Amino acid sequence: NGEPSKSTQSRRPEYIPNRIDDPNYVRIFDTTLRDGEQSPGATLTSKEKLDIARQLAKLRVDIIEAGFPVASPDDFDAVRSIAMDVGNNVDEDGYVPVICGLSRTIIRDLEVAWEAVKLAKRPRVHTFLATSAIHMEHKLKMTPDQVVENAVKAVRHLRSLGCTDIEFSPEDAGRSDPKFLYRVLAAVIEAGATTLNIPDTTGWNLPHEFGGLIADLIANTPGADKVVFSTHCQNDLGLSTANSLAGAMAGARQIECTINGIGERAGNASLEEVVMAINKRGAQQMGGLRTGIRPVHIISTSKMVSDYSGMMVQPHKAIVGANAFAHESGIHQDGMLKSKDTYEIIRPEEIGLTRQDDAGIVMGKHSGRNALRTKLQALGFDLAQDQLDDVFKRFKSLADKKKNVTDEDVLALVSDEVHQP
Ligand code: KIV
């Protein structure tokens, strides 16, 4: 049913902020409650955030970025209550997610973020500062030297507060000079950062470029072997999932993502896409990559986030869209009735989806005779060939006028047939 076996679960590596003890384990960092909530119109209440955080723990995400505590008193309270509740709920396997708060490199922000998360069993603060020439010149109005100095000061300050799990992001890394990145990253490692997150903030990179950047940073940053590299890919060119996977294949061992891919502008890498790609292809085609996610909770989490945020999921969205497991063309329906392997690479039950009919057959103008016969049998009618031919003719003419032919429509067609003298 998609639920990992007990023995798979017990292979989950012990949580160590700055060390990879299973070289193929990719940590899933969910930022639905932070980057996701930055989707225009997606504001969540504190109670909704707590519900979502509990659901993310069921899904077994490794890290929950619960918010941006300095942004508002509400955000602070939400992060703090998630830290105290979900962040202390150790389950029977010893699993408890890391609870993370985002912060600029400003001293007050860092202190507020630490205050919000520190009661979690595994608290993390994630601090960021832009490193691209465009951002340094136009937004920050800082020189590169000042950026390095600020980043180091922030990480040292977090250390002095008692925070030992520190993530640093060079914002807009996807458009930054790699040589400058080596310098900033080496300096924050030296100051005590444990995770280096590489954001493609504007979704500018192509997969081979982003993978190349991660490989370059791991190879050329002094101290890289002491930290976990992470991806954070925005979706402006629709490449966030591909870029995140390219980053993991190049050595990143944390992927930042959101449920349903919600987030700033065109959104973020979608958790369900990244996780199912690794789940299906990680072992063979991605050098053995794996995650600790329980995919069976994907659909319920997706529905909760969509209901609470008001961000509808497009019907053809991979994994969680309403049509992701629906088959309309006659050729596909015929194939599905013969073997589900013909057109499905994931069983819907693996992600917690139960559908009305076993093969995901949707009756419409592209459906064939075999699908109609199967639908009729499911509704309790075993028609003779000439009756079936007649119902099929009338079904086709109805389907030409109607987008979806429902069970009631099929019943009406068949009852005309059966009651004909
Ligand atoms: O997109 C971005 O660069 C971010 C960082 C704060 C990680 O959200």
**pLDDT tens sequence for the chain (421 residues):** 444 444 444 456 666 555 556 889 999 999 999 999 988 888 899 999 999 999 999 999 999 999 999 999 999 999 999 999 999 999 888 899 999 999 999 999 999 999 999 999 999 999 999 999 999 999 999 999 999 999 999 999 999 999 999 999 999 999 999 999 999 999 999 999 999 999 999 999 999 999 999 999 999 999 999 999 999 999 999 999 999 999 999 999 999 999 999 999 999 999 999 999 999 999 999 999 999 999 999 999 999 999 999 999 999 999 999 999 998 888 898 899 999 999 999 999 999 998 777 778 889 988 999 999 998 998 889 999 999 999 999 999 999 988 889 888 898 898 876 655 4
**Residue-level pLDDT at 9:** 45
Q: Residue 234: CB within 6 Å of ligand 1? A: yes
Q: Between the CA of residue 11 and those of 7, 199, 274, what are the distances in Å?
A: 7, 29, 20
Residues 6+ apart with CB under 8 A from 359: 327, 333, 336, 337, 340, 374
| Closest Cα to atom 5 of ligand 1 | 171
Q: Residue 128: CB within 6 Å of ligand 1? A: yes
Q: Between the CA of residue 107 and those of 149, 214, 232, what are the distances in Å?
A: 13, 29, 24
Looking up tokens 């389950």, which residue turns up? Answer: 91
| Closest Cα to atom 3 of ligand 1 | 201
255 bridge partner residues: 28, 231
* Alpha carbon of 348 to ligand 1 centroid (Å): 32
**Residue-level pLDDT at 1:** 40
The pTM for the full model equals 0.90
* Alpha carbon of 129 to ligand 1 centroid (Å): 9
Find, among 93, 94, 157, the residue nearest to 122 by Cα. 94
Residue 352 structure tokens: 């917690």
- Burial of 165-174, coded b for 16+ CB within 10 Å and e otherwise, reads bbbbbbbbbb
Looking up tokens 């979706």, which residue turns up? Answer: 235
Q: Residue 232: CB within 6 Å of ligand 1? A: yes
Q: CA–CA separation, 33 vs 292, rounded Å? A: 20
| Closest Cα to atom 2 of ligand 1 | 201
* Alpha carbon of 311 to ligand 1 centroid (Å): 20
Q: Residue 103: CB within 6 Å of ligand 1? A: no
Distance of CA 177 to the CA centre of its chain: 28
Q: Residue 258: CB within 6 Å of ligand 1? A: no
Ligand 1 atom with the smallest distance to the CA of 31 is 8
**Residue-level pLDDT at 14:** 63
| Closest Cα to atom 6 of ligand 1 | 128
Residue 137 structure tokens: 């010149």
Residue 223 structure tokens: 């101290």
Residues 6+ apart with CB under 8 A from 350: 1, 2, 295, 296
Q: CA–CA separation, 78 vs 40, rounded Å? A: 19
Q: What number of residues does the chain have?
A: 421
- Residue from 38, 65, 102, 128 whose mutation best tests the ligand 1 pocket (most atoms within 8 A of CB): 128
Find, among 99, 129, 95, the residue nearest to 116 by Cα. 99
Q: Residue 256: CB within 6 Å of ligand 1? A: no
Q: Residue 199: CB within 6 Å of ligand 1? A: yes
- Residue from 175, 181, 234 whose mutation best tests the ligand 1 pocket (most atoms within 8 A of CB): 234
Task: Compute how many other C-beta atoms are within 10 angstroms of the C-beta atom of residue 74.
Answer: 14
E strand or H helix that includes residue 168: strand 166-171
| Closest Cα to atom 8 of ligand 1 | 35
What is the tally of helices (H) and strands (E) in the chain? 15, 8
Q: CA–CA separation, 268 vs 231, rounded Å? A: 11
Residue 151 structure tokens: 């980043």
Ligand 1 atom with the smallest distance to the CA of 264 is 1
Residue 158 structure tokens: 């977090």
| Closest Cα to atom 1 of ligand 1 | 201
- Residue from 201, 213, 240, 264 whose mutation best tests the ligand 1 pocket (most atoms within 8 A of CB): 201
Ligand 1 atom with the smallest distance to the CA of 169 is 7
Residue 206: phi and psi, rounded to 5, are: -95, 155
Task: Check if the beta carbon of residue 200 is closer than 8 Å to that of residue 174.
Answer: yes
Q: Residue 169: CB within 6 Å of ligand 1? A: yes
